[in-house]
Structure 1
Amino acid sequence: MSVLIDRDQGIASPALVPADGDLARDHAGAELNIGLINNMPDTALKATERQFMKLLQAAAGPRRIRFHCFSLPSVTRSPEAKWHVESEYSDLSDLKRERFDGLIVTGAEPAAPELDQEPYWRDLTELVDWARTNTRSTIWSCLAAHAAVLHLDRIERQRLPAKCHGIFDCATVTGDPLTRDAPAPLKVSHSRLNEVTEGDLTQAGYQVLTRSAQAGVDVFVRQYDSRFVFFQGHPEYDALSLQREYLRDVGRFLAREREAYPAFPVSYFDAATEEKLARFEKRARHQRHPALTNELPALTLRADIAAGSAAAALFRNWLQYLDTDAEAPLLAR
């Protein structure tokens, strides 16, 4: 998949976005070439495409962005998702044939007890090594961030006592250009079972840009030939992403695909919804059956979650960095 993202172009779904052709020929001048390595689970595959396309479109301003979708071939997929990737995505081997200004690499649903035992580990680490010298900047999101720092500096992620799941207030730690004009606090979605700690990161030479009192490190960076940006959270999530994950996990509990009933996301649903969900949980524990999902209560989000505001600032500044850095020789940075 290769599309031209234009400021005034509507994006209803990836399938409706114009591909190479007349639109590209109607625009003159330089473009930013950005790749998305989308390794998200099948249920979130297309939503992730839309989220990043909309983010880049909103952040682009007058810039034009040539956007390419890839996925690691070693990520396990259902037949339907595999067909989507094979028919709509570019082959990963094409990545090394073009010059990319920036990459965005997402995590994948864990399948092994240790990251370096994942079936996609070799592909992912080869991508880390390639991106260090062949992009101006690469964003590593959530599990991909954990995998990258493990490969680069043997920083081990640590299991959390409970899932970090919700919207957390994050404060800026330094005056880095990436967080310029960002709202205070940044409200960022996190959804993970593990973390890398600030002490381990700073000892290895990483710079922490934002942190949360509850969720720990949020955004951190390290400069190689490429500027690597790491997200422990998911600033790209839309307003309903955490709700979809929560309902998925409730469904898995009722289907006996997981043993623990999921806690609802922190600072996400309004108080009345949390009360209704607590009552539903008691019922679900006594009447554990997949059909009970049809009786889940109506869900209302808090009015102050500020979905997308943090991502808008971060990605606007990231594109500014790519644009400003475009004239510099790649190996001189």
Structure 2
Amino acid sequence: MTVLIDRDQVIVGPALVPAEHDLARDAGAELTIGLVNNMPDLALKATERQFMKLLQAAAGSRRIRFHCFSLPSVKRSPEAKWHVENEYSDLSDLGRKKFDGLIVTGAEPIAPELDQEPYWRDLTNLIDWARANTRSTIWSCLAAHAAVLHLDGIERRRLPGKCHGIFDCDVVTSDPLTRAAPAPLKVSHSRLNEIAESDLVQAGYQVLTRSAEAGVDVFVRQYASRFVFFQGHPEYDALSLQREYLRDIGRYLARERDNYPRLPVSYFDAATEEKLARFEKKATHQRHPALSNELPGLNLRADIGAGNAAAVLFRNWLRYLGAGADASVAAR
């Protein structure tokens, strides 16, 4: 399904554009963007809202025709499957419409290797399609890892511990995507693996931003489409990392994971970190799902800067897409 995003529209979720909407009005000021949302069920709706709000804030006076999709081979609960089937467009619609830009998220890993995931063939077909049929595509986190593996055989590397938190990222290459970016860019990262910068550079990718602690953040490569890769999650809202952390604590207490999760880096304030450290000691000695009811109140640091990096990156990305769309309209 399609939602038409105007600057003053209230974002709720994917919905059909009313049939009576004047689609011809300001056609030159409109971009068509698809989101292929493969995030886990618990983050599915939050992710679509985050990207819609980002695009709305970044678009200015330009209207966005926004389509939601999901790879059909991503395993879903009955509730999430119903949401996708009833609120999202069919993936086959990608080939029937002209898309200026595409955003592709990762999925929660199931298999030990990316090319063994049940959605691997669908994802690689999408990578090949986007390379020839979009002006630019954003690949987020695990989707970025999958894309460079498929395109250039670059293997991701397992980290000794989860990279999870808010990291200061510096612009290391001048590029229109990072124009007017704050220094540093504060970006959420949440991953168990990484792509080494040396592997990317050797294969011809250009690194735009990096973190001293988290490594490569944003990198790009030009095909017929400009591919933009995020190892982090600039779209995350202020509470996204908190939700993930609490989810992982719940999984530990339910014995669905072996190790207690690490605190997100530079995220909770000092008093909260102290309370969570005391809770961790108790949880490791009294491991039981009911203990989650005793989790303390959580407060974030005041300087996390949620959304600031995304606002810059997406505003510049839409400008890039818009320059191509405007040129196409002028040539008609």
Settle same-fold status: TM greater than 0.5: yes
- Partner of 1:240 in structure 2? 239
Pairing 1:276–2:289 present: no
Task: For 1:217, give the aligned amino acid.
Answer: V
Q: TM-score, normalised by structure 2?
A: 0.97
Shift of 1:18: 6.3
Q: SS in structure 2 opposite 1:14?
A: coil
- Partner of 1:105 in structure 2? 104
* Mapped partners of 1:327, 1:173: distance in 2: 30
Pairing 1:314–2:310 present: no
Pairing 1:198–2:209 present: no
Q: Deviations over 1:293-318 (max 9, x none)?
A: 11100000000000000000000000
Would the aligned equivalents of 1:211 and 1:219 in 2 still touch at CA under 8 Å? yes
Task: For 1:176, give the aligned amino acid.
Answer: D
1:10-159 → structure 2 map (5 Å cutoff): 10-11=10-11, 13-14=12-13, 19-25=17-23, 27-30=25-28, 31-159=30-158
Q: Deviations over 1:185-217 (max 9, x none)?
A: 000000000000100000000000000000000
Q: SS in structure 2 opposite 1:76?
A: coil
Q: Deviations over 1:23-42 (max 9, x none)?
A: 45484323100000000000
* Mapped partners of 1:176, 1:248: distance in 2: 37
* Mapped partners of 2:27, 2:188: distance in 1: 36
* Mapped partners of 1:7, 1:23: distance in 2: 16
Q: Deviations over 1:5-34 (max 9, x none)?
A: 0001111x206x662434454843231000
* Mapped partners of 2:303, 2:179: distance in 1: 22
- Partner of 2:6 in structure 1? 6
Would the aligned equivalents of 1:4 and 1:20 in 2 still touch at CA under 8 Å? no
Task: For 1:28, give the aligned amino acid.
Answer: D
* Mapped partners of 2:22, 2:64: distance in 1: 10
Which 5+ residue runs of structure 1 have no aligned equivalent? none
1:211-290 → structure 2 map (5 Å cutoff): 211-290=210-289
Aligned alpha-carbon RMSD (Å): 1.2
* Mapped partners of 2:24, 2:7: distance in 1: 14
* Mapped partners of 1:190, 1:24: distance in 2: 40
Task: For 1:68, give the aligned amino acid.
Answer: H
* Mapped partners of 2:8, 2:292: distance in 1: 40
* Mapped partners of 1:160, 1:238: distance in 2: 24
- Closer, same or farther: CA 156–328 of 1 in aligned 2, 3 Å: farther
Shift of 1:328: 5.2
Report the count of equivalent residues.
Answer: 327
* Mapped partners of 1:92, 1:241: distance in 2: 27
- Partner of 1:167 in structure 2? 166
* Mapped partners of 1:32, 1:25: distance in 2: 12
* Mapped partners of 2:21, 2:268: distance in 1: 41
Q: SS in structure 2 opposite 1:44?
A: helix
Shift of 1:255: 0.4
* Mapped partners of 2:206, 2:75: distance in 1: 33
* Mapped partners of 2:281, 2:22: distance in 1: 56
* Mapped partners of 1:115, 1:28: distance in 2: 42
Q: Deviations over 1:245-304 (max 9, x none)?
A: 000000000000001000110000000000000000000001111011111000000000
Q: Deviations over 1:144-181 (max 9, x none)?
A: 00000000000000000000000000000111000001
- Partner of 1:187 in structure 2? 186
Shift of 1:326: 1.9
* Mapped partners of 2:190, 2:21: distance in 1: 37
Would the aligned equivalents of 1:3 and 1:20 in 2 still touch at CA under 8 Å? no
Would the aligned equivalents of 1:37 and 1:103 in 2 still touch at CA under 8 Å? yes
Task: For 2:98, give the aligned amino acid.
Answer: R
* Mapped partners of 1:176, 1:18: distance in 2: 36
